[in-house]
Amino acid sequence: MMADRRGEAAETGHLDHRGFRLRWLAAGPEHGEPVLLVHGFASNIETNWVNPGWVQTLSSQGRRVLAFDHRGHGQSSRSRNAEDFAPLEMAADATALLDHFGIGKAHWFGYSMGGRVAAFAAVAMPQRVASLCLGGIGDALVKGSGFWGPVREALLTDDPATITDPKAMMFRKFADQTGSDRIALAACIEGSRANLPEDAVRRITAPTLIAVGTRDDVAGDPHRLAALLPRAEVLSIEGRDHMLSVGDRQFKAAYPAFLARAGHAP
C-alpha cells in the first residue's frame, strides 16, 4: 500500500508480462469508471500522476484509477533493446494491466510518449478504448519530432557539460531527476518514436481530448492533429510548457468534464 500526496490510500503491486515485471498502482473504488494512466518518457507513476495530483483528483471523483511504470522506467524491469519499446509492445503492457483487473474497456489518458502509446492502442485495439486523452502531444504523433537524436546523445554522455542543445539538456535533467536508467531510455528513444500515419489516426473513433501547453515546443500542433480525428477537441493549457502542463489546474478541471461528456466505458 502507498498514499498519494493527499494521503489517499492506493494499492501497488507487480505484473509479469512478456518477460517484464511491471509495477502498477490502483486507486479509487473497485467498480468505479476505469481510467488508465500511461506516463511519458523518462517519467514514472509518482512523477507523472501521483505528485501532480491526478490519482487523487480522479479517484476522489469515484473513478477506478490504474497506472503503471513502463518497461525500462520507474520500478519496472529494464531493457536496453530498442525493439522492446515499440509503441504496440508498451500498449500491450497497458492492456495486460486491464486484463489483470478484469477490465475490458477503459478511458486511456496518456502524456507525451504515453499519448503516443495510447493512440497506437486506440487504432489497434479500439474495443479497449472508451475515450482518449492525448496530453503533451499534437501532430508530432504523425510527423514526428526532429530533436530526439540529440536527446539520445545527451542521455548517453557521461559529461552533461558537453550538452549544448536546450531540449536535450531538458530531458537529460529530467532523466537524472527521476533516477532513470539512461541507457534504457536511449533504447526507448530508438524503439518508441514510430509515427501514426494520417489514415490510421482518422480511424480513431473514440472521443479524444488533446491537451497541450501554449508554450510546449515538443508536442507539435494540437489543432492539426484534432483536424484528423472525427471526435476530437483541443485544450490549450495557457502559459505552460511541456514539463509543466501535466500538473496544471486547468487541465485537472477540464479532463473530468471531458470524461463526463465522453460517457461510460461499457
Block mean pLDDT (10 aa), the chain, length 266: 54 98 98 97 98 97 98 97 98 98 98 98 98 98 90 96 95 96 96 96 98 97 98 98 97 97 80
Domain boundaries, the chain: 2-145+194-262
CA distance 167 to 112: 14
Residue 264, pLDDT score:
76
Nearest alpha carbon to residue 64 among 93, 98, 87: 98
| Cα(21)–Cα(64) distance, integer angstroms | 22
Length of the chain, in residues: 266
Rama region for 7: left / alpha / beta (φ>0; ψ in -120 to 50; rest): left
CA-atom Rg of the chain in angstroms: 17
Beta-sheet strands, E only, within the chain: 2-3, 9-17, 20-27, 33-38, 63-68, 106-111, 129-135, 208-213, 232-237
- One-letter amino acid identity for 7? G
Q: Are 190 and 175 in contact (CB under 8 A)?
A: no
pTM of the predicted structure, to 2 decimals? 0.95
Identity of the amino acid at 55: V
Helix axes 166-177, 148-156, angle to 10 degrees: 50
The confidence score (pLDDT) of residue 8 equals 53
Task: Confirm if 95 and 226 have CB atoms less than 8 A apart.
Answer: no
CATH class of 2-145+194-262: alpha beta
Which cell goes with 66? 490504474
